[in-house]
Amino acid sequence: MTAPMLRRLGVPADVSGRRLLASRDGLVVSVLFYLIVSGVLSALWRAAAGEHGEVAGYTALALTWYVFTAEAATCAINVRLIEEVGDEIGSGAVAVEMLRPLPVVAVRLAAEVGRCTARLAVLLGPGATYAWLVAGPPPHAAAAVLALPSLVLAVTANLCLQHALAGSAFWLRDTRAMWFLYQKLVFLLGGMLLPLEVLPGVLRDVAMALPFMAMSYAPARLASGHLEPWLLLVQAGWVVVLAALAGAVFAAGQRRLQVVGG
Amino acid sequence: MGTPDRLGGGPAIEAVGVTKRFRAAGSTGSTSAVDAVHDLTLSVQHGERLAFIGPNGAGKSTSIKMLTGILHPTAGTARVLGLVPWQQRRTLSERTGTLFGQRSQLWFELSPRQSLRMLAAIYGMDRPQETRRVAELGELLDAADLFDVPVRSLSLGQRMRCELAACLLHEPAILFLDEPTIGLDLLAKRRFRELLVTLNEEGGTTVFLTSHDVADIEHVAQRVVVISAGRLIYDDSVPAMRRTMLSTKLVDVGLEHAGASLELDGVSVLEQGDSSARLSVDTTRISIREVLGVVLDVWSVSDISVVDPPLEQVIAEIYAERRS
């Protein structure tokens, strides 16, 4: 992808992000949902850790910041994206987007990254305030700062894989089962519900080797006080791989697109 | 972008033997092949306004999708502005505009102006270019006040004007329009047709139009190509189609008073009242001159005129003739 193309893609990202920020009602619901889910889940983890105890090396404070960050990475995403994009492919609506001089998947990803980054920005303020009030400040300031770019990489990796899977609609026509499975994988193997260190040996190793860890676990691990910059490199690597996969799936799928009639 | 493309002086669109075969799975698990388009050979010159018509399922939309590069043909070759559409789709899209009447290219959650901003960036236009072009289109399409209304709040006619703005933003040399007036009211249709003719006459834009609305053909097209069951069955100018395909003329007669009944071979009386009558004349069996002579002899005529039947009837005759 060339620099001029990236500049052109910046506009869909910017316009979509601004548009999202203008839809106040939707944002209020998103923030409320995020705070309720994160609040309940973090309370459970704090109870499990006890006041001075730990769970898999995470203190109650670390677990609180872990949960709020992991939830932010997931709540920023449209969870039914696979289904929606799949429907547009299955119905042939995607044909209109093929009549533009930039790759369909690149424009879609740019717009979605813009939208999700804007939603993320909105979620983080109330989320950080809540976590600070109930548990205390972030355990490690520098690691918390690194969690910010890590969150953007997390939603980008998530969007890339969702588009790659949605592209299967060029062959399968129906992706509803796929998004259901995908969502659960992100919840469990992505570390959204629990830190991956909680998983037993082999399962933990498998989860750490899969791309889902880049979508929730990585920023949450940083925000929970672990200064591990290599996580950003792993995420960036996954973004490159998953973006290439999404591009390849769409390129192959478009060739076999069957659109009959208007 | 910019002025219409006339690369190499060749035709704007040239298709030779283009075929698209779809495979469909049957209920028993077997597959069958259907030629949606079969051996289509067609040439369209720069600046032409062509109507590409046919009954439902004739292959019109499939042809447009091959000519714009969305679909790959099973056989045959085509060049649009010198490019092979399915191999150079994205390059071609910089010089063509396509409007599908049943599919929107605007983002529903955005206003048209935001959609145009996105499209301008996608087409590589800089901000001053975009501002100038959006203002021009707002004026041309009388749509400037619609550009800030959310797309979902626009009426169909208003939305179609914004769709056309999106289609014209990058100043395409060819416009592919697939049933663009579908669902529009009479006034909106008329306005849309006038716009297409203006764009063609003032900007030299080639217009490739499919429609089921005969008035679109009558008021926009200079040339008609008829496709049926995937095969091209007719290709001529609109006036030539009227001339050559017209075996029937209508004679409207104004009467000073009620006349006797008229019986002539090749003539049917469609309506007859005290003050007027309408005759249908099969010119392959009797000449108009002969009919007029008899009418003037037997009736007291106050007025008489000979008209062509509606284009709709002509097209129906083409379909029926080729089918038989």
Distance CA B242, CA B245 (A): 6
Please tell me whether residues B42 and B61 are part of one structural domain: yes
3-state secondary structure at position A29: helix
What's the pLDDT score for residue B185?
Answer: 81
Please tell me whether residues B256 and B191 are part of one structural domain: no
Mean predicted lDDT score pLDDT of chain A: 92
Query: What pLDDT digit, counting tens, does each position of A57-87 carry?
Result: 999 999 999 999 999 999 999 878 898 888 8
Shortest CA distance from A17: residue in chain B: B110
Please tell me whether residues B267 and B205 are part of one structural domain: no
Hey, are the CB atoms on A258 and B178 less than 8 Å from each other? Answer: no
Handedness of CA B93, B94, B96, B97 (dihedral sign): positive
The sheet carrying B49-53 orders its strands as B96-100, B174-178, B206-210, B49-53, B223-228, B231-237
Query: What pLDDT digit, counting tens, does each position of B129-170 carry?
Result: 999 999 999 988 888 999 999 888 898 888 988 998 999 999
Chain A residues contacting B, CB < 8 Å? 4, 8-12, 15-16, 19, 23, 92-93, 95-103, 107, 111, 255, 257-262
Shortest CA distance from A20: residue in chain B: B109
Query: What pLDDT digit, counting tens, does each position of A112-169 carry?
Result: 999 999 999 999 999 999 999 999 999 999 999 999 999 999 999 999 999 999 998 8
Please tell me whether residues B231 and B253 are part of one structural domain: no
- Would residue B83 count as lying in a domain? yes
DSSP B116-171: HHHHHHHTT--HHHHHHHHHHHHHHTT-GGGTTS-GGGS-HHHHHHHHHHHHHTT-
Q: Is the pLDDT of residue A262 over 70?
A: no
- Would residue B190 count as lying in a domain? yes
Please tell me whether residues B50 and B131 are part of one structural domain: yes
The model's pTM: 0.83
Please tell me whether residues B131 and B226 are part of one structural domain: yes
* CB distance A172 to A76 below 8 Å: no
The CATH number that applies at residue B266 is 3.30.70
The CATH number that applies at residue B59 is 3.40.50.300
Q: Is the pLDDT of residue B7 over 80?
A: no
Please tell me whether residues B61 and B186 are part of one structural domain: yes
Please tell me whether residues B80 and B226 are part of one structural domain: yes
E strands, chain A, in order: 54-55, 58-59
B61 touching chain A per CB within 8 A: yes
Hey, are the CB atoms on B70 and A259 less than 8 Å from each other? Answer: yes
Hey, are the CB atoms on B103 and A95 less than 8 Å from each other? Answer: yes
Number of domains in chain B: 2
What's the pLDDT score for residue B29?
Answer: 67
Please tell me whether residues B107 and B253 are part of one structural domain: no
What's the pLDDT score for residue B2?
Answer: 40
Hey, are the CB atoms on A262 and B71 less than 8 Å from each other? Answer: no
B292 touching chain A per CB within 8 A: no
- Would residue B312 count as lying in a domain? no
Please tell me whether residues B277 and B133 are part of one structural domain: no
- Would residue B91 count as lying in a domain? yes
Hey, are the CB atoms on A11 and B69 less than 8 Å from each other? Answer: no
> Kindly report the CA angle at A223 between A219 and A225, in degrees rounded to 5?
130
Paired with B75 in beta bridges are B19
> In chain A, what residues touch B112 (CB-CB under 8 Å)?
none
Q: B34 or B96: which carries more pLDDT confidence?
A: B96
What's the pLDDT score for residue A129?
Answer: 97
Q: Is the pLDDT of residue B88 over 90?
A: yes
Distance CA A134, CA A122 (A): 20
**R_g over Cα of chain A:** 19
Q: A102 or B101: which carries more pLDDT confidence?
A: A102
Longest Cα–Cα distance of chain B, Å, equals 75
Query: What pLDDT digit, counting tens, does each position of A15-50 carry?
Result: 999 888 888 888 999 999 999 999 999 999 999 988
- Would residue B59 count as lying in a domain? yes
B215, B237, B259 - which closes a domain: B237
- Would residue B223 count as lying in a domain? yes
- Would residue B41 count as lying in a domain? yes
Of A163, A159, A154, the closest CA to residue A248 belongs to A163
B218, B237, B256 - which closes a domain: B237
CA-to-CA separations, B186 to A29, A229, B179, B191, in angstroms, rounded: 43, 64, 15, 9
Hey, are the CB atoms on B122 and A12 less than 8 Å from each other? Answer: yes
What's the pLDDT score for residue B27?
Answer: 65
* Segment B109-135 mean pLDDT: 93
Distance CA B248, CA B250 (A): 7
What's the pLDDT score for residue B1?
Answer: 43
Give the domain extent around B113. Answer: 13-237
CA-to-CA separations, B38 to B68, B147, B321, in angstroms, rounded: 17, 41, 19
Structure tokens given for A242: 């998953």
- Would residue B179 count as lying in a domain? yes
* Segment B270-289 mean pLDDT: 88
* Segment B36-40 mean pLDDT: 93
Please tell me whether residues B274 and B216 are part of one structural domain: no
What's the pLDDT score for residue B215?
Answer: 80
What's the pLDDT score for residue B160?
Answer: 87
> Kindly report the CA angle at B183 between B220 and B232, in degrees rounded to 5?
50
Query: What pLDDT digit, counting tens, does each position of A187-231 carry?
Result: 999 999 999 999 998 999 999 999 999 999 999 999 999 999 999
Split at pLDDT 50, 70, 90, the class of B4 is very low
Please tell me whether residues B56 and B121 are part of one structural domain: yes
Query: What pLDDT digit, counting tens, does each position of B9-28 carry?
Result: 689 999 999 999 987 776 66
> In chain A, what residues touch B122 (CB-CB under 8 Å)?
8, 11-12, 100-102, 107
